[in-house]
Amino acid sequence: MCSPCHKVAGLVLLLAIAGCEREEREFQSPPPQSGDAGAAVLSTLSPGSSAPQATPSPTGRKYNQNAYHISEGKRWFRWFNCNGCHANGGGGSGPALMDEKWIYGGSIEHIAATIRQGRPNGMPSFDGKIPEQQIWQLAAYVRSMSGNAPKPARPSRNDALNPGPAEQQRDPLPTVGGAAQGPR
């Protein structure tokens, strides 16, 4: 119709392609295919000395970028009482989740595996108790707590008492694997 409108439209278009992945409301996870969900491997002997390895997976990417999945994860975090141990991410009897330290790996695949399998010193296994899609949503939300999700996809404040700035307002922190590594 008119060229400046085209320019605006083009700009909108670029952002909109990212928007598509962010805005999908996927209610029903497709049945998991082998290898689709990636593999999270913890080094068996000394978890501290080498960062845990994870194969990035399409599933992980999908959940990591999608605002709906992350917000659902935020809901489960309260509903499944994750905040009972991890508080609002600052940590309590469980470790903090909003900092850059990841004992068992900070990729979404690692976090999903941690929720699924449980970890020593108190983290129970939720395999079978939390369905697979909800585990991924939780993992995506846990990553967003340290700012590790696209900003527009990260949750904003809740309609509740808010202890600190919402996930959306936090600066992304690099994920550091392994317990021995301190903050850079």
By CB under 8 A, name the binding residues for another protein: 2-5, 7-9, 11-13, 15-17, 19-20, 22-25, 27-29, 67-68, 70-71, 75, 79-80, 128-134, 151-153, 155-162, 165-166, 168-169
Closest approach of Cβ 170 to another protein, in Å?
11
* Choice between 97 and 135, CB closer to another protein: 135
Closest approach of Cβ 48 to another protein, in Å?
32
* Choice between 98 and 176, CB closer to another protein: 98
Which residues sit opposite 130 in a β-bridge?
127
* Choice between 85 and 179, CB closer to another protein: 85
Closest approach of Cβ 7 to another protein, in Å?
8
* Choice between 34 and 44, CB closer to another protein: 34
Provide the strand spans (E) within 64-133: 101-102
Closest approach of Cβ 56 to another protein, in Å?
23
Contacts within 8 Å (CB) and 24+ apart, 47-51:
47/103, 47/104, 47/178, 47/179, 48/178, 48/179, 48/180, 48/181, 49/178, 49/180, 50/178, 51/105, 51/176, 51/177, 51/178, 51/181
Closest approach of Cβ 28 to another protein, in Å?
4
CA–CA gap between residue 170 and residue 148 (Å, rounded): 9
Angle (deg, nearest 10), helices 3-23 and 67-79: 30
